[in-house]
Amino acid sequence: MPNIARASIEKPLYTWLIILTMLLGGIWGFLNLGRLEDPAFTIKQAVVVTQYPGATAAQVATEVSEPLESALQKMEEVEKITSTNRPGESRIDVEIKSTYPAEALPDIWTRLRARVRDTSRQLPDNALPPFVNDSFGDVFGLYYAVTAPGFTDAEKYDLGTYLRRELLVVDGVADVDLSGIPEEAIYIEPDMTLSVNQGIPPAAIIGAVSSANSVTSAGSLNKDGARLMFQAPEGSETVSDIASLSIGVNGQLFNVADVAKVSRERVATPDQIIRFNGEEAFTIGIAGLDTEDIVKVGHRVDARLAQLSADIPYGIELHPIYQQHLVVEQSSNDFLKNLAMSVGIVIVVLGAFMGWRAAIVIGATLLLTVVGTLLFMAIFSIEMERISLGALIIAMGMLVDNAIVVAEGMQISMLRGRSSLAAADDAAKKTQIPLLGATVIGIMAFAGIGLSPDSTGEFLFSLFAVIGISLLLSWVLALTVTPLLGHYLFKVSNQDAADAYSGRFFVLYKKILDKSLTFRWPVIAGLVAITMVCFVGFGSVKQQFFPNSNTPLFFVYYKLPQGSSIQQVSDDLEVMEDWLLNEQNVTSVASYAGRGAVRFMLTYDGGKDNQSYGHLIIRTNALEDIPDIHARLETFGKENFPEAEFRVQRLVFGPGGGDPIQVRFSGGDPSVLRDLADQAMQVMADSSDNLLNLRTDWREQELVIEPVYATQRAQTAGINRDDVAASLLYATDGLRAGVYRERERQIPIIMRRPQPEEFNLNDQLVFSPITGTYLPIEQLIEGFDYRVENTLVQRRNRVPTMSVGADVATDVTAAQAHTEIRSAVEAIPLPSGYTMEWGGEFENASKAQASLGAQLPLSALIMVMISILLFNAIRQPIIIWLLVPMSVNGVVVGLLGTGLPFSFTALLGLLSLSGMLIKNGIVLVEEIDLVRAEGVPLRPAIIEASASRVRPVVLAAVTTILGMAPLLSDAFFVSMSVTIMGGLAFASVLTLVAAPVFYYVFFKRDEKRELAMQPAR
C-alpha cells in the first residue's frame, strides 16, 4: 500500500486542498444541513374508522371489525391488527411490517384502501363507509393554543380557518391542524303539548328543515346552440329563516317557530374541550415538510404570525405549547458548544502532555474531521438531529485516536534525529494498515444497528452513517493533514532511542508492566475475578429502555370510570389546572378533555379518544423543577380524585404513552378474560409494591337500558322498533334533522326535547301514523331491561384481547418491576384456548434487542475476520478479543456509582467503547509484533512496544473522558457518557496491562523455542 503520509508532505498542495475543502465545505454543510428534532421516520400505521350508529360494542366487533380485519389480515405486509370497538364505532389500527421501506407505503395504502372498499359492501346497511387515515404519524411540531375571550363560537371558527389558510401558504409547511374549536348545532325543540294537540308528527318538522339550504341541481337548457344553466331557489341563510319555514299538517299551515324553539348553540357533548392556563382555547398545529429544515420553517411561521398579528382582533392570543424549531436550534447550538469544549479539552490535555505543537496538530485534525463530517452529511442529505448529533459525540472519543498515534510516531522519530519526511514515512508505514483495520472494526460495531432492515435501522441509520463517515475521514486526515502539520511544527532532535521513553512516567509504567509479566497468572486471575464480579454486579444496574427527556414538560393522564361525561372530566381538570397555576415554577398548563393533543413530537402519544378521558401538558421553568411538582401533584390527584385513574408521567426519549408494565390475555369469552385480568391484577399487586394504577384496557362495564318491544301492540299502532329507538334518541341526544351550510362549514340541525326539561322514560311519546296521534312509550313496550355490558371491546389480530397495565414508582425502572412480578403472573393457570403474553416496555425492549441481535452476529463475524486478516494469524486476534468482555467492568462501576440506568444510549456507548478498546489493542499488538520482528526478545519487546503506545492510549482516554464531561448535564446522553467514561478508564488499564500479559502468555513458548535454538547456532 502506498505511504499516504509521505505523499501528503511531498505534495502539500493536495493536502492543503483537502484542508480547505473540509474547512469551507464543513461551514457550508453546517449552514445547509437540514435540522430536525428526531430522525425522519415513517410511522407505518394506518387507522380505519367505521361508524355503525345504534350498535353495541360487541355488535360493532362482530359485524364491522371482524370482516374488515379478516380482509386486511390477508395482506402480506401487515404485521399486526388491533381494534377498539365501542357502541357505534369501530377503530382498526393496522401496523405494517417494519422491514418495508417508507417508499413502499403509498402503494400499500392504495391496496389497503381497495380491500377496505371491497369489504365495505359486506357491512350492515346502516354502517357508514369506512374512513382510512394513513397520515396517522404526521408530526405537528409547531403547536400553539389560541385564546379568544369574548368572541362567539362562530367567530372562533372563522379565526381558526383564517389562520390555517394563511399558514398553509408558508414555504415548507405541509399541513395545519385545528383542534378544539367549539362545535355548534342548530337545535329545534318542539313544544310537545302543541305538537300533540295539533297532531304534528316529528317527520313533518324534519321534512321542513332537512332541505332548508340544501344544494340541488335545477338542470340546464340547450337553446339556439347555447347552454342555459338553472339554479335552485336560494335556501334559508339564517337561523331565523329556518324558524320561519312552514309546516303543513292536516290542511293547516304552521311556522316552525309556532311549534318549536329554534336556536344555534354549542353542542351538548363535544368531542374535545381544550383550555390553556385555565382559559378556553383551541389549538393549531403546523407540520413541516420532511424535506425541509424545521428551524427555517419555524422561523418563517413565526414571521408570518407576526405579520398576521396586525389583522387579528385585539384580545386574541397565540400561546406556544411546543416549538420544535426552537428546541432543534438549541440542540444545534449546544452541539457547537460541546464541540468547541471538546476540541479545547483535547488541545489543553495534549498541550500538557505532548507540547503545544502536538496539541495544535491533533486539535486541527480533530476539528477538520468534525467539519468534514458535516460536509458529507450535507452531501448525503443526513439531517442534523438527535441521533446524528449523538453519533458525532460518540465518534469524538474515537476520532482523536488516529491522529494521536501518527503524531506520536512522528514526534518520537524526529526526537531521534530523523527528518519529518522520514518520520512520517516510519509512523505511517507501521500504523496505516492497523489503523484502517481498527477503524473499520469500530464502524462495524454499529453496522448491526444502522443496517438493520426494520424500523430500528431506519430510525438509527444516521448513527451508523455519521460514525462511518467520521471515522473513515479521521483515518484519511490522520495520514494526510497530521503529517503535513507535523512537518511544519515538529522539531528534529538528536536523542537516542532510550531518551524518548526515559521520563518518570514511562519508567514507572515499565516497572509495573515488568512485575505484571512476572506475576502474570495472579494478574490474569485478578482480572478474571474482577470481571466475574462486575458481570454479577451488572444485574444490579437499573435497566431502562429510553431515558427521560430534557424538555421541561410532563403529562397527566386522567381517566374517570367508563361512561363518565366529558363535562365532568373537564371540571376535574379545571381543579388540577388551578392547583398547578398556583405553583411558582409552572409556566403553562394545557388541558384536554375527551382526546389528547395532536402528535407534536414523534414520540408523543396523547392517548385514545374517550369521553371519560382527560390529559394535561405541563411546562415548568426548568427540568429540575419537575420531580418536586410531579410528586406533589400525584399526591394531590390521589387525595382529591380517589375514584379516578390519575397518572403523572415524564416525557421520555423514544416511544411514549404506553403502559410501562403490561400483560395481555387473549381468548374468545370476555367474561373469562375479565376473570384472568382480575387474577393478574391481584397477583401483580401482591408481588410488588412498586406498581401503581393497575387497570385493564376494557375498562369498567356500563349500565345499559333496553326497552322490551311489545310486538303485537306496537305493530297494531303502526310503530316499529326504529320508531321506539327514534323516540328515545329524540329525548336524549337528539334526532339528526338535516345540515345547515355556512360557506365551507356544515352545521348539523338536531331536533330534541326542550332543554332543560325533566327526563322520565315512561313519559316519552311515539307518533302513530295509523291513529295520527302520539302514544305513550309504555303502551308500546313490556318494560325496560337493565344490564351491564362491555362498551370497550379490544381485539388483537382478530382475537378479543384484554390488557392489564400498570405504572411504576418514580425511583424504579420498568425492568425492575417486571422482574418482581414475572414469575407470579406466568404461573396463572390459563383455560384451554387462551394465551398470555407480555407487552409494555419489556416487549419494546425485547423487539429492539432482537432486531439488534439479528444483525450483530454478522457484524461480529466481519470484525473478527478483519482482525485475523490484519495479523494473518489467530493468537493476536484472540488476545484482542479477550479484552472486550472485560470492558464491562468500568461500565458497571460507573453506572452503579452514579445510580444511572443502563439505557439504549448506554448500549451505544458500550459499542463505542468496544470499538476504542479493539483499536487500541490492534495498534499495541501490531507494535509488539513489529519490535519482535527487529530481533528483540519477547519480554523486552513487549515492554518496549507497550511503552511506545502508553502515551497515545492514555491521552486518547483522558481526552475522550474529559470530552464527555459536558454531556453529563444532558438527560439523553448522560448514561452513555458515564458508560464511556467509566469503561474507557478501565479499558486503558486493560490495553496497557492485560493485553501485554496475554501476549506474553500466548507467545511464551515461542520465547522458549528461540532460547533453545540459540546454542545450536
pLDDT digits 0-9 by tens, 185-203: 999 989 888 888 888 888 8
CB atoms within 10 A of CB 760: 8
Nearest-10 crossing angle of helices 520-538, 995-1013: 150
Give every CB contact of residue 244 below 8 A, 6+ residues apart in sequence.
Answer: 236, 255, 256, 257
pLDDT of res. 212: 67
Is there a cis peptide before residue 313, judged by omega within 30 degrees of 0? no
* Grid cell at residue 753: 326535547
Per-residue pLDDT tens digits for 922-950: 888 888 888 888 888 888 899 988 888 88
**Angle at Cα 410 formed by Cα 405 and Cα 416, nearest 5°?**
130
Q: How confident is the model at residue 159 (pLDDT cuts 50, 70, 90)?
A: very high
pLDDT higher at 860 or 524: 524
CB atoms within 10 A of CB 12: 15
Average pLDDT over residues 407-415: 82
* Grid cell at residue 1002: 500466548
Per-residue pLDDT tens digits for 702-755: 999 989 999 999 998 999 999 999 889 988 888 988 888 888 888 898 998 888
Q: How confident is the model at residue 655 (pLDDT cuts 50, 70, 90)?
A: low
Whether 972 has a pLDDT exceeding 90, the answer reads: no
Q: Of all residues in the chain, what percent carry a pLDDT higher than 70?
A: 95
The label of the residue with cell 382529591 reads 640
CB atoms within 10 A of CB 155: 13
pLDDT of res. 1017: 43
Per-residue pLDDT tens digits for 88-112: 999 999 999 888 888 889 999 999 9
Average pLDDT over residues 530-545: 84
pLDDT of res. 637: 92
Per-residue pLDDT tens digits for 387-407: 888 788 777 767 888 888 888
Q: Please name the amino acid found at residue 894.
A: G
pLDDT of res. 1010: 63
Average pLDDT over residues 640-664: 82
pLDDT higher at 679 or 339: 679
In angstroms, the CA 942 to CA 925 distance is: 9
Three-state DSSP class for residue 26: helix
Whether 677 has a pLDDT exceeding 90, the answer reads: yes
Average pLDDT over residues 72-97: 94
pLDDT of res. 601: 86
pLDDT of res. 166: 94
CB atoms within 10 A of CB 503: 11
In angstroms, the CA 255 to CA 199 distance is: 14
pLDDT of res. 654: 62
Q: Is 596 exposed, middle or buried (0-12, 13-18, 19+ CB in 10 A)?
A: buried
Average pLDDT over residues 286-292: 87
In this structure, of 812-816, 830-834, 846-850, the range with the lowest mean pLDDT score is 846-850
pLDDT of res. 445: 80
Whether the CB-CB separation of 64 and 124 falls below 8 Å is answered with yes
Whether 150 has a pLDDT exceeding 80, the answer reads: yes
What share of residues in the chain are helix, strand, coil (percent, to 5)? Answer: 55, 20, 25
Positive or negative torsion for Cα 497, 501, 502, 507: negative
Whether 496 has a pLDDT exceeding 70, the answer reads: no
Q: Please name the amino acid found at residue 124.
A: P
DSSP code, position 778: G
DSSP code, position 990: I
CA nearest to 662, candidates 701, 691, 638:
691
Average pLDDT over residues 516-520: 91
pLDDT of res. 397: 66
Three-state DSSP class for residue 697: coil
In angstroms, the CA 395 to CA 373 distance is: 11
pLDDT of res. 316: 93
pLDDT higher at 138 or 55: 55
pLDDT higher at 342 or 995: 995
Mean pLDDT of all residues belonging to the chain: 86
Q: How confident is the model at residue 298 (pLDDT cuts 50, 70, 90)?
A: very high
Q: Which of 100-109, 214-223, 495-504, 916-925 has maximum average pLDDT?
A: 100-109
pLDDT of res. 249: 76
Whether 226 has a pLDDT exceeding 60, the answer reads: yes
Give every CB contact of residue 26 below 8 A, 6+ residues apart in sequence.
Answer: 368, 370, 371, 372, 373, 374, 375
Whether the CB-CB separation of 420 and 410 falls below 8 Å is answered with yes
pLDDT higher at 941 or 860: 941
In angstroms, the CA 290 to CA 356 distance is: 45
Q: Of all residues in the chain, what percent carry a pLDDT higher than 90?
A: 39
Q: Classify each residue of 418-440 as buried b or exposed e, where b means 16 or more C-beta atoms within 10 Å of its C-beta.
A: bebeebbbbbbebbbebbbbbbb
Whether 1016 has a pLDDT exceeding 60, the answer reads: no
Give every CB contact of residue 284 below 8 A, 6+ residues apart in sequence.
Answer: 143, 144, 146, 160, 163, 164, 167, 176, 177, 178, 318
Give every CB contact of residue 477 below 8 A, 6+ residues apart in sequence.
Answer: 18, 22, 365, 368, 369, 372, 402, 403
Whether 498 has a pLDDT exceeding 60, the answer reads: no
CA nearest to 778, candidates 761, 795, 758, 754:
761
pLDDT of res. 497: 47
The β-bridge partners of 799 are 796
Long-range contacts of 15-21 (CB under 8 A, 24+ apart): 15/480, 15/481, 15/484, 16/484, 18/476, 18/477, 18/480, 18/481, 19/368, 19/481, 21/372, 21/375
pLDDT of res. 162: 94
Concatenated DSSP letters of 34-81: -B-SS------EEEEEEE-TT--HHHHIIIIIHHHHHHHTT-TTEEEE
* Grid cell at residue 176: 395545519
pLDDT of res. 1015: 56
In this structure, of 219-228, 531-540, 587-596, 989-998, the range with the lowest mean pLDDT score is 219-228
In angstroms, the CA 673 to CA 792 distance is: 13
In angstroms, the CA 549 to CA 971 distance is: 6
Q: Which of 415-429, 433-447, 827-841 has maximum average pLDDT?
A: 827-841
CA nearest to 58, candidates 802, 927, 792, 981:
792
Per-residue pLDDT tens digits for 554-603: 999 999 999 899 999 999 999 999 999 999 999 999 999 999 999 888 87
CA 678 vs CA 645, 671, 695, 762: distances in Å:
17, 11, 9, 38
pLDDT higher at 360 or 658: 360
What is the length of the chain?
Answer: 1017
Three-state DSSP class for residue 260: strand
In angstroms, the CA 316 to CA 305 distance is: 12
pLDDT of res. 657: 54
Q: How confident is the model at residue 232 (pLDDT cuts 50, 70, 90)?
A: low
Three-state DSSP class for residue 650: strand
* Grid cell at residue 1012: 533453545
Which domains, ranges and CATH numbers included, belong to the chain?
Answer: 1-32+355-491 (1.20.1640.10), 45-182+270-327 (3.30.70.1320), 184-215+232-266+702-789 (3.30.2090.10), 501-540+873-1004 (1.20.1640.10)
Three-state DSSP class for residue 602: coil
